[in-house]
């Protein structure tokens, strides 16, 4: 018997084959399985354009694994696509005949343009951001570039360069020399030359990377104590670290996973060329790409809203949170932050994260009260959060962990989404907002002012407020002691 709430997307890529299985729950997709196998199909392309027998065997062996999982999913809830290498292979019919017999489902070879559009849809549904954005996906044999806004792509291209093909062309001996990097970067720049002007003319407000290369680079940076923002300076620094290793066999950068080592230098070279040619300031990691685009395409959703809003809505529904109270705390916390705008340099990502933390602060109550902050942080660290980057998940977990009781300052300092000083300020404001909203009733949050001088915060309440609100006044005094003992003075005054 098939399960009508199950969906599967299979991506037969040039470097890896992937299968994603999800369960539609409470208006959101819950990931049930992610299966990935390194097939390196592109490495099997011969000079005459045909796929060699060994690469096809690797592909068929992988599909045997996928076939079992697909048996329990409705046929119209399954999408299987082939990308760049299968587009190029002259003997594709040989591969497809056996592959489709193994899977029991048709395989559709999609064009580069359709691949780019589907990647963008996956990014749009799983990554946050407003305005126009540039999406980049470096695959094994192709690189997709898309500029779009909302869920609509406006400019897209699929280029014949990828981390597997660039590996065989420019690092065939495994030598990580400056000359090999220079040749790989120059070739990528040359490939980009005909289309770069179109992208620069259209422009964008943010850049998102959706490939394994981008994920590997971000993991390395976070492991080395950097924040999650990828910049050209950081990429060039990674290139020098790779050159210092000398050879692929000795490439051992902190944070680099073993299965990414082989194609890391070639992917890095392509990304450097992209940053140079398109004048990219910074890039963050996408929450999804081709497979997620296939899934959401089947679900047929077209509701235009921030991916993080959908994620928060799903969590509120799944864990039965009190939305009215959550919004009360969020509005109070954001009002406090807004009052500090003139004295503190708070960026918009930090403001947004305070709002999400306030909205989800009661998440841990679904387990129990006493250790609710720890439970909330655990859930955030381990649940799928479309729209939030890995570093933003760390920050959100740290804020929820620090919502009451003793401070765990190290968690606020170790996240890589914003500066530690800003994260500490957000935690302080979240704690104050929760106390001010303890009554859980409309109209009971007092009018207040918040002032800042250096590290000191001064909360100014209405005259004689504490005389008729004993519990909250007591909680605020205790909180003032806690924050002051941490080296962040908090003064409570009445006007």
Q: pLDDT-based confidence at 31, cuts 50/70/90? A: confident
Each residue of 243-264: pLDDT tens digit?
Answer: 999 999 999 899 999 888 999 9
pLDDT over 90, % of the chain: 74
User: Which pLDDT does position 412 carry in this prediction?
Assistant: 94
Kindly give, in sequence order, each residue whose CB lies less than 8 Å from that of residue 422, ignoring residues fewer than 6 positions away.
Answer: 346, 347, 350
Q: pLDDT-based confidence at 462, cuts 50/70/90? A: very high
Kindly give, in sequence order, each residue whose CB lies less than 8 Å from that of residue 90, ignoring residues fewer than 6 positions away.
Answer: 48, 49, 50
458 strand-pairing partners: 451, 491
Cβ atoms within 10 Å of 168's Cβ, excluding its own: 13
- 3-state secondary structure at position 152: strand
Q: Which residues of 261-276 are buried (b: 16+ CB within 10 A; e: fewer)?
A: bbbbbbbbbbbbbbbb
User: Which pLDDT does position 321 carry in this prediction?
Assistant: 93
- Single out the residue of 237, 202, 245 nearest to residue 220, CA to CA: 237
Helical H segments across 89-177, by residue range: 92-103, 112-126, 163-170
Q: pLDDT-based confidence at 130, cuts 50/70/90? A: confident
Q: Which residue has the higher pLDDT, 305 or 385?
A: 385
Is-above-0.75 flag for pTM? no
Q: pLDDT-based confidence at 356, cuts 50/70/90? A: very high
Where residue 415 falls (left for φ over 0; alpha for ψ -120 to 50; beta otherwise) is: beta
pLDDT over 70, % of the chain: 98
User: Which pLDDT does position 301 carry in this prediction?
Assistant: 57
User: Which pLDDT does position 349 carry in this prediction?
Assistant: 83
Cβ atoms within 10 Å of 137's Cβ, excluding its own: 27
The separation between CA 241 and the C-alpha centre of its own chain, rounded to angstroms, equals 25
30 strand-pairing partners: 23
The answer to whether residues 118 and 293 touch, using CB atoms and an 8 Å cutoff, is: yes
Q: Within 13 Å, how many C-alpha atoms sit on residue 47's CB side?
A: 1
Each residue of 35-66: pLDDT tens digit?
Answer: 999 898 988 999 899 999 999 999 999 999 99
- Tell me how far apart the alpha carbons of residues 59 and 37 are, in angstroms, rounded to a whole number: 9
302 has pLDDT over 50: no
- Tell me how far apart the alpha carbons of residues 115 and 81 are, in angstroms, rounded to a whole number: 9
2 has pLDDT over 80: no
User: Which pLDDT does position 1 carry in this prediction?
Assistant: 43
- Single out the residue of 211, 207, 252 nearest to residue 230, CA to CA: 207
450 has pLDDT over 90: yes
Extract the tokens encoding 33.
Answer: 């399985």
24 has pLDDT over 90: no
The answer to whether residues 400 and 359 touch, using CB atoms and an 8 Å cutoff, is: no
Extract the tokens encoding 266.
Answer: 């070639």
């Amino acid at each position: 018997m098939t399960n009508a709430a199950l969906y599967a997307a299979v991506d037969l890529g040039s470097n890896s084959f992937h299968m994603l299985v999800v369960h539609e729950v409470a208006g959101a997709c819950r990931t049930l399985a992610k299966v990935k196998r390194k097939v390196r199909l592109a490495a099997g392309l011969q000079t005459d354009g045909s796929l060699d027998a060994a690469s096809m065997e690797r592909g068929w062996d992988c599909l045997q694994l996928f076939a079992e999982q697909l048996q329990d999913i409705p046929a119209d809830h399954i999408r299987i696509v082939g990308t760049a290498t299968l587009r190029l292979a002259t003997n594709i019919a040989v591969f497809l005949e056996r592959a489709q017999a193994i899977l029991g489902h048709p395989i559709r070879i999609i064009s580069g343009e359709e691949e780019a559009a589907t990647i963008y849809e996956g990014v749009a549904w799983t990554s946050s951001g407003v305005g126009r954005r540039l999406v980049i996906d470096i695959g094994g044999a192709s690189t997709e570039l898309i500029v779009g806004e909302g869920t609509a792509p406006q400019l897209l291209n699929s280029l014949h360069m990828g981390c597997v093909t660039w590996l065989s062309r420019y690092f065939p001996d495994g030598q990580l020399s400056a000359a090999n990097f220079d040749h790989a970067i120059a070739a990528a720049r040359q490939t980009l030359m005909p289309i770069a002007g179109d992208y620069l003319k259209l422009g964008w407000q943010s850049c998102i990377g959706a490939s394994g290369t981008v994920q590997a680079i971000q993991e390395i940076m976070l492991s080395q104590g950097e924040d999650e923002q990828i910049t050209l300076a950081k990429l060039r620094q990674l290139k020098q670290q790779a050159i210092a290793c000398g050879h692929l066999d000795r490439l051992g950068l902190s944070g680099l996973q073993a299965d990414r080592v082989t194609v890391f230098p070639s992917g890095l070279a392509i990304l450097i060329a992209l940053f140079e040619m398109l004048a990219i300031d910074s890039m963050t990691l996408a929450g999804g790409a081709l497979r997620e685009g296939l899934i959401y395409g089947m679900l047929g959703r077209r509701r235009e809203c921030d991916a993080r809003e959908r994620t928060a809505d799903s969590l509120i529904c799944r864990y039965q949170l009190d939305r009215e109270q959550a919004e009360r705390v969020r509005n109070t916390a954001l009002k406090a932050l807004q009052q500090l705008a003139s004295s503190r340099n708070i960026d918009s990502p930090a403001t947004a994260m305070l709002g999400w933390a306030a909205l989800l602060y009661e998440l841990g109550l679904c387990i129990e009260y006493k250790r609710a902050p720890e439970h909330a942080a655990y859930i955030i660290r381990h649940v799928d959060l479309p729209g939030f980057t890995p570093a933003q998940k760390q920050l959100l977990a740290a804020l929820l962990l620090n919502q009451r009781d003793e401070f765990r300052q190290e968690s606020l300092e170790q996240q890589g989404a914003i500066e530690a000083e800003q994260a500490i300020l957000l935690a302080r404001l979240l704690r104050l907002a929760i106390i001010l909203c303890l009554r859980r009733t409309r109209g009971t949050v007092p009018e207040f002012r918040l002032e800042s001088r250096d590290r000191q915060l001064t909360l100014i309440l209405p005259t004689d407020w504490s005389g008729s609100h004993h519990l909250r006044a007591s909680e605020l005094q205790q909180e003032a002691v806690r924050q002051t003992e941490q080296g962040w003075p908090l003064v409570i005054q009445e006007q």
